Structures are given as structure tokens and as C-alpha cells.
């Protein structure tokens, strides 16, 4: 048995969802919407299952999906990609992250991480033999300090693993911070892996900067995306990587032995969604922005300090001086609402333990019911 993996607890999302079921709680813990998602995209998948090709698709992904991704990023983000050499479809962003860590890291290489971070990062880095170097971020700005970041780079730095927009903090990394990171990464001869799965949920017309917008990083960065997030179909597990040809080829070495391919019918539906069905992305974004505002307003009226949220499905609140794990335990058992303690995303590097994450990608009725329960709880 592998020691690292046998020591891992069950993920906090699974644990909280089980507790929510046990206590009949409203589940604002794990991030998933409670509606079925864009119908035209779901129908495209159904048609592709019934009428389409259901045998192995090409290892790098369906041509139609890769072409649609390149066209989508050209139109939406002004990023020019050669779909044949710079785009690969994976089984969710999770597989893309694994392929990146397993193909880029040599045992002993250092990987810079920014807690609070998505919970899959650290186990993947460690299993790839990477040595984590943490640059912890704190509310309310959740920005890194330039000097702390500079000191995190050493001659052993191989990868910088970012998330933008950030789960759980709901922040965007400003362009100037990415420029600094680009300069430091280029000096170190390292690679930036940027998990941009939440790029479709950026609110208030805020400018989103991808890692591929940064000149110093165009040939030394991997951009990761996910249809699960872009179309609010979180169970789909269709992801992708976009990177310069040599990097894409390197990640493909790992991908071919992780999953090899991704269901062709879902890829066909993603191609449709990125092209003809693209309107659903903006519609979902507008709907989510309204829900964020409704829920944030309600939380503030209850006296919670709500941190600004520029993207993702998540709001973070302060737990009024109580330890966040204790607060979330009490809330699910006594208050009937499941939330996630943000300290879980710090991997032991939490400087404050006083923040909880709540998912607002729910119907207005669900959000209002959760607010009623919170009002009775506080
Ligand atoms: N990265 C981040 C930051 C996420 O929040 C998630 C899903 N919640 C993933 C990766 C996983 O994406 P997928 O479901 O496409 O594997
Ligand atoms: N990404 C989702 C979240 O942050 C959950 C993913 C999972 O359950 N592993 O809530």
C-alpha cells in the first residue's frame, strides 16, 4: 500500500455531503448547482450517444472539440491556439492536473503552492515526488506578498501551481501579480500550471487574465479548463489543457496512461456548447451573479462579514471568532446547513482558521431557506 495515499482522509466535500444527508441539511458545501444545466448542451450529448460514435476517440480528443476550444478562446479571451499542437482533451480538470504533475515533476523538484488551494493539488504534487513550497494567502485580499513570493523561488523550483479564479476564496489574480509571477518563473526556468476551471464564472464584467496572456509565460505555462464548470454540468468530467506544443506533448505522455481518452459523446456536446451553444455560458454567469448578490445581502443582514467574491460558486464569511471546523460542524448538525471550513484548503498552513465557504449556485428558494436556517442558528 502506498503510505501517502493510505494516510489521506476522505475529501472534505464527500464528508460534508454525507453529513448533510445524515442531518437533512441544505448542502452549500460541495460546489454544484441544483439545476439540470443548459438543455441544448445536454441534448447534444444525448444525440451523440444515440446517433454518434461511441468507440474510442483519438487520444488527444475529438478534432471537433479541440477546434471548438481554440475558436472559443480566440473569441472570448483573445488567445491564439494551434488546436492540433496546443490543445488536449482530458477526463476532467482533475486528470489534467494529474497529467501535469506526473509529467513535469522529477522527484525532489519544488512546487510553489498558494493555500488556500483546491484539495487535489497537494496529494498530486507529493505523489509525483514534488516538494511543496507554500505561499499562504489571507482574507480579505488573498493576494501574495511580492517579497514572500520572491523568496519561495529556489534553484529547485520546477512548477508554480495556480488557481484563477480561486476556489475557495472567490478572488481573481490581478494581471500585475501574474506579470510578476511570469518574470520570476521565467528567471527560474520553471513552468506555471494554471487551473482556470472557473474562468466562465467571472462577475461584474471584471477583467480575467489567463496565464497565456502573459508574454513571459506563453511558452512555459499550462492553462487547464473544465466543461463541468463552464457549462455548470459538474458531473461531466471533460477537461482540457492548452499549452505550447512541447508542453502539450509532454502532458500527453502522462494522459495516455492515465485515462487515454474521454467519452466522445460528451466531447461532441462540449464542442456544440462552445460553438452554437455558447450563449448558455453568459446566461449562467448572469444568473449566478444575481444569486451571489441575493445570498451575500442575506448573509450581511444576519451580521456575517462577507468577503468580496469576483468569481466561482463560492462566498466566504467570517465565523465570528469561532474555529471554522467547529463552526461548520455545529452548523450542519444544529443549523441544518452544510458549509466547508476554509482551513481544509490550507493543508496545515492556515494562519487564521476563521473562514467558511458557502456555495451560492442554488435556486433562490434554496438560498432563502438556508438564510432562514442561518437566522435561527446565529
Ligand atoms: N480545480 C478546481 C479549482 C476545482 O474547483 C475543481 C472542481 N470543483 C476541479 C479542479 C475539478 O474539475 P473537474 O471536475 O473538471 O475534474
Ligand atoms: N470542486 C468542488 C468544490 O470545490 C467539489 C469537487 C469535489 O467534490 N471533489 O466544492
Summarised one tens digit per residue, pLDDT across range 80-105 is 999 999 999 999 999 999 999 999 99
Instruction: Give the pLDDT mean for 201-212.
Output: 97
Model confidence at 258, pLDDT cuts 50, 70, 90, reads very high
Q: Which residue in 34, 60, 131 sits closest to 364, CA to CA?
A: 34
Beta bridge partners of 239: 90, 226
Choose the CATH number for 3-37+279-377 among 3.30.750.24, 3.30.300.180, 3.90.330.10, 3.90.1150.10.
3.90.1150.10
Would the CB of 239 count as within 6 Å of ligand 1? yes
Q: Whose CA is nearest to atom 3 of ligand 2?
A: 31
Would the CB of 335 count as within 6 Å of ligand 1? no
What's the 96 CA to ligand 1 centre distance in angstroms?
10
Q: Domain spanning 39-274: which CATH class is it, in words?
A: alpha beta
Q: Whose CA is nearest to atom 2 of ligand 2?
A: 31
DSSP secondary structure string for all residues of 99-144: HHHHHHPPTT-EEEE-SS--TTHHHHHHHTT-EEEE----TTT-PP
Instruction: Give the pLDDT mean for 249-272.
Output: 98
Beta carbons of 81 and 87 less than 8 angstroms apart = yes
User: How far apart are the C-alpha atoms of 361 and 277, rounded to whole Å?
Assistant: 21
Of residues 348 and 281, the one with the higher pLDDT is 281
Q: Whose CA is nearest to atom 4 of ligand 2?
A: 31
Summarised one tens digit per residue, pLDDT across range 113-165 is 999 999 999 999 999 999 999 999 988 889 999 999 999 999 999 999 999 99
ipTM score: 0.97
Would the CB of 167 count as within 6 Å of ligand 2? yes
Q: How many CB atoms lie within 10 A of CB 43?
A: 13
Q: Which of 93, 114, 123 to mutate to test the pocket of ligand 1 (most atoms within 8 A of CB)?
A: 93
All CATH 3.40.640.10 domain ranges in the chain, comma separated: 39-274
Beta carbons of 196 and 216 less than 8 angstroms apart = no
Summarised one tens digit per residue, pLDDT across range 327-363 is 999 999 999 999 999 999 998 887 788 999 999 999 9
- Which residues are CB-contacts of 50 (< 8 A; sequence separation ≥ 6)? none
All CATH 3.90.1150.10 domain ranges in the chain, comma separated: 3-37+279-377
What is the rounded average pLDDT for all residues in the chain?
96
Whole-model pTM above 0.95?
A: yes
What's the 240 CA to ligand 1 centre distance in angstroms?
11
Strand 191-195 versus strand 221-226 pairing type: parallel
Would the CB of 11 count as within 6 Å of ligand 2? yes
**223 SS3 class:** strand
- Which residues are CB-contacts of 46 (< 8 A; sequence separation ≥ 6)? none
Amino acid at each position: 500500500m502506498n503510505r501517502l495515499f493510505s494516510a489521506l482522509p476522505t475529501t472534505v466535500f464527500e464528508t460534508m455531503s454525507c453529513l448533510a444527508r445524515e442531518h437533512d441539511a441544505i448542502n452549500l458545501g460541495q460546489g454544484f448547482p441544483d439545476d439540470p444545466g443548459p438543455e441544448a448542451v445536454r441534448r447534444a450529448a444525448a444525440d451523440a450517444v444515440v446517433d454518434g460514435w461511441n468507440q474510442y476517440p483519438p487520444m488527444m480528443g475529438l478534432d471537433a472539440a479541440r477546434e471548438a476550444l481554440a475558436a472559443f478562446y480566440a473569441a472570448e479571451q483573445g488567445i491564439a491556439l494551434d488546436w492540433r499542437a496546443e490543445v488536449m482533451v482530458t477526463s476532467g480538470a482533475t486528470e489534467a492536473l494529474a497529467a501535469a504533475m506526473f509529467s513535469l515533476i522529477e522527484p525532489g523538484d519544488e512546487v510553489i503552492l498558494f493555500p488556500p488551494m483546491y484539495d487535489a493539488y497537494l496529494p498530486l504534487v507529493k505523489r509525483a515526488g514534488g516538494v511543496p513550497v507554500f505561499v499562504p494567502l489571507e482574507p480579505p485580499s488573498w493576494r501574495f506578498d511580492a517579497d514572500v513570493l520572491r523568496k519561495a523561488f529556489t534553484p529547485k523550483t520546477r512548477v508554480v501551481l495556480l488557481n484563477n479564479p480561486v476556489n475557495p476564496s472567490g478572488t481573481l489574480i490581478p494581471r500585475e501579480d501574474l506579470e510578476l509571477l511570469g518574470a520570476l518563473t521565467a528567471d527560474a526556468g520553471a513552468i506555471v500550471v494554471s487551473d482556470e476551471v472557473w474562468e466562465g464564472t467571472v462577475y461584474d464584467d471584471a477583467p480575467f487574465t489567463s496565464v497565456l496572456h502573459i508574454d513571459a509565460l506563453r511558452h512555459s505555462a499550462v492553462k487547464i479548463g473544465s466543461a463541468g464548470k463552464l457549462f455548470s454540468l459538474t458531473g461531466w468530467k471533460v477537461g482540457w489543457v492548452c499549452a505550447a506544443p512541447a508542453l502539450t506533448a509532454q502532458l500527453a505522455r502522462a494522459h495516455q496512461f492515465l485515462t487515454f481518452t474521454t467519452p466522445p459523446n460528451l466531447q461532441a456536446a462540449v464542442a456544440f456548447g462552445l460553438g452554437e451553444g455558447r450563449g448558455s455560458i453568459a446566461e449562467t454567469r448572469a444568473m449566478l451573479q444575481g444569486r451571489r448578490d441575493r445570498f451575500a445581502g442575506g448573509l450581511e443582514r444576519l451580521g456575517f462579514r462577507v468577503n468580496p467574491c469576483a468569481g466561482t460558486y463560492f462566498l466566504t464569511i467570517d465565523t465570528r471568532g469561532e474555529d471554522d471546523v467547529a463552526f461548520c460542524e455545529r452548523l450542519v448538525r444544529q443549523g441544518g446547513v452544510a458549509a466547508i471550513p476554509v482551513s481544509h484548503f490550507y493543508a496545515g498552513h492556515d494562519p487564521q482558521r476563521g473562514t467558511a465557504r458557502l456555495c451560492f449556485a442554488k435556486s433562490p428558494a434554496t438560498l432563502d431557506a438556508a438564510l432562514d436556517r442561518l437566522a435561527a442558528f446565529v
